[in-house]
Amino acid sequence: MDIEELQSQLTLGEKIRLLAGQNFWETTPIERLGIPSAKVSDGPNGARGAQFQGGVKAACFPASTCLAATWDTDLVSRVGAALAEETMSKGAVCLLGPTVCLHRSPLGGRNFESFSEDPFLTGKLASAYILGLQGRGVSATIKHFAANEQETKRTRINVNVSERALREIYLKPFEIAIKEANPWALMTSYNLVNGIHADMNEFLLKTVLRGQWKYKGLVMSDWGGCNSTARSLSAGLDLEMPGPPQYRKVENVKGCLERGEVNAETIDARASSILEFLRTTGKFEHPETLSERAINKAEHRNLIREAGGRGIVLLQNDKNLLPLDAKRLKSVAALGLAKECLAHGGGSAAVNCHYKITPFEALRAVLGQDVELRYAQGAQTFRNLPDFQEDLFDSRGNPGLTLSRYQTRDFSDLPELITTIATGSYLPFEDRCEAIKLECTYRPSVSGYHYMSLSALGPAKVYIDEQIIFDITHDCDDPMAFILGGVPEEQAQFHFMQGKEYQIRVESLAPTNDSSTQGSFSLLAGLLGVHLGLMHQEIFEEDLLTAAVDAAKSADVALVFVGNPPSWETEGRDMVSMSLPAHGSQDRLVSAVGAVNDNVVVINSTGVPISMPWLHCVSAVLQAWFSGQEAGNSIVDVLFGAVNPGGKLPMTIPRALNDTPTYANFPGDLKELQVSYEEGIEVGYRYYDKHPEKVLFPFGFGLSYSKFRISDVKLQQQILEQKGRITITAVVENLGPLAGSEIIQVYIAPPEGPVARPPKTLAGFAKLQMDAGQSELAEIQVTFDSVAYWDETCSMWKAEKGVYKAVIGTSAVNVVGMVEFTVDDDVAFMA
């Protein structure tokens, strides 16, 4: 396909039409010239397809934090290849992942979607993911560029970050992956960076990405993240998503051309990127968009189970309680979230899984019927109340609510539609309107001060017998988060009497999209949505703890499954503490069980570090992450020794939230919509190396059922030159009775100099799998980039001459060897 020849045949209007999507998931075709559309799909751990909820089933792979905990680039590449097949099964040629923004704070609601607190580890794993995906002909989309480390006010927050921190920490994983794996697409972030929205930030897109890094791929906006017409085009944003366009209407762009705000060459460059993307993804050869299919592949099921197990980190194992021996057990208590499969976090990463294996199901399969398996929930973990849907009757006496739709905001006209809906949730993507009423008669089956909740895209009110219960006067701050279930809800209690009738009415308006409240987030303009929830008082306040303690008292072992269900760790909403939800209930469960049983194992499924006030009263702790649809099997494989845990933490677990470097400035000044990265480059272990007393479990830490000895650490070259590399070797021996893995980590400690630098930074790693008694040689190469820092005085990378230490460890604090090498000259360079 001759792109230049094809482009020469396009009219100006056709070129402009190419620069925005035709709908939510597809680019715009030009049928006259045989230019096809390309379909994209969320998300990083599974190809969901077009439907946000209840769509075609898909395989759910472990979230990126779980993959990162494997420290296994080969495994991550295999996952990428499998995700390519999943993407094609949804008729798409582009997967919207990986996410490579760093874990700046443990409160980040979307941390699970990304890999690590460390830019080097993140960049290397992202590269493997991209190479695996694109090796099968499906485009990766590296995101979100850049400095998108929080969900709070994500569409309007301005990130103030120093040039050095931006280069060394937040841009570095993008730089590594772009140079090593060449992702075919890149997505900009919602936020502003140093005062300019990312989609029209010339420094990010033109100076760094296109200029210094020589990136040639497609640059698209996040969904609704385009904030201008001319400025985004000139900065280098090729594609506004989704469609129909908000800014890139043909008449808008033509007007910019006429006024000289953008030139014709820029339009040609943007259109050329779209055409090149279509060629790269093979759309000219295969222009059709296939129907979505659910293909439940055995090899994908096996890979998900393998990856989930390899990512689990054994944090504590007192008395060598693990692995468990099923033959010696007579009774097991499976408590907490044992009957939930925490496969994924919330938001765009969620998929409609083919199936989900809960820990309880996996335990039953291993233990059989000879072992008594007890269950008790033990704690409440709900965040949003369930849909209001029971004991409701519409105007004709049928179950449900009467829906009336209006095209006036004051309800002055006759409704254009009157129908019945089943629940208090309403979110249509078509047939947009200005206002709705939901009305019903409620006949409660139980008396009590029941709990109600409300959230909406626009202003909304709830009346009970003409008494106002809720009155939301503003637009939703993050409409996409509303769709994905991540926005906070207002809650209230109302006393209902069994046998009485109550008239309930919801009035809701479409968002105003007033720029003073909405900023530039116009994706869902005119889309009306509302969620009304209800839970009976007796359910909300039910005592679940007593039954769990009783189940644990006489059990041989108590397995307490805790974690963050998707509504708690989700796109669109950061967490407010490191405590497990809700209101301390899971912490109370663990402490109470630990008080009555000496053999307690806590299995935590979160994508972030949590506080562990109960650590001293339990024997073992597994960090299981969100490990995909096979989560139950992956966890039980480790519990019973079918898999020897080999995962290592990709982030530090601090003792408390106030021990974190971002404690004072996350999520920032929300009134002024400013967040300052005042910690600079002291992110993660770079900070904790100076404050070891604040660490509960260090970066890179993880136990095994085996013991390993590392010896004979050697350096192959004594001098590191700018175009060269040095090789470090070490002998690793498995001293234990089981096959297992060890991860050798190499950190570089710089000499003292005029510029403050972290005590050490990760520069290489190697994962070795060994049988019992086996020895292997670890070989790790370190490049010149690893000794450089960003010099703000000249805006270049700089390596200072001197003697550097290569620190070899099995975590950021467990050092097993050290060698020295030399950099002979001061070098300033642009990588």
Strand partners, 336: 561
* Angle subtended by helix axes 264-280 and 250-258, to nearest 10: 140
List, as one string, the DSSP characters of 759-809: S-EEEEEEEEEE-TT-EEEEEEEEEGGGG-EEETTTTEEEE--EEEEEEEE
* Angle subtended by helix axes 631-639 and 359-367, to nearest 10: 50
pLDDT of residue 514: 54
pLDDT of residue 43: 84
Dig out the tokens for 722 from the structure. 């700018």
List, as one string, the DSSP characters of 765-776: EEEEEE-TT-EE
Q: What are phi and psi of 173, to 5 degrees?
A: -65, -35
CB atoms within 10 A of CB 498: 11
222 tagged catalytic:
yes
Cα 520 to Cα 190, 303, 781: the distances in Å are: 9, 41, 45
Q: Where does residue 182 rank: exposed (0-12), middle (13-18), buried (19+ CB within 10 A)?
A: middle
pTM of the model: 0.94
Q: Where are the beta strands (DSSP E) in 457-513?
A: 460-464, 467-472, 490-496, 502-509
List, as one string, the DSSP characters of 170-190: ISHHHHHHHHHH--SEEEE-S
CB atoms within 10 A of CB 721: 13
- For 55, residues 6+ apart whose C-beta sits below 8 A from its C-beta are 48, 49, 292, 352
The residue written with tokens 């820092």 in the block is: 789
Strand partners, 390: none
CA–CA gap between residue 212 and residue 219 (Å, rounded)? 16
Point out the residues of the chain with pLDDT beneath 50. 515-521
Which residue among 72, 199, 222, 478 is the active-site one? 222
Nearest to 621 by CA among 611, 633, 631: 611
CA–CA gap between residue 802 and residue 749 (Å, rounded)? 11
Strand partners, 508: 436, 460
Strand partners, 532: 454
8 Å CB contact between 626 and 65: yes
8 Å CB contact between 406 and 413: yes
Strand partners, 712: none
Report all structural domains of the chain as residue ranges with CATH numbers, in order of start.
298-380+542-697 (3.40.50.1700), 392-540 (2.60.120.260), 708-829 (2.60.40.10)
- Collapse the DSSP code of 250 into the 3-class scheme (helix H, G, I; strand E, B; otherwise coil) and give the result: helix
Strand partners, 453: 491, 533
Task: Give the sign of the dihedral formed by CA 603, CA 605, CA 610, CA 611.
Answer: negative
Dig out the tokens for 49 from the structure. 């397809």
Give Rg (Cα) of the chain. Answer: 27
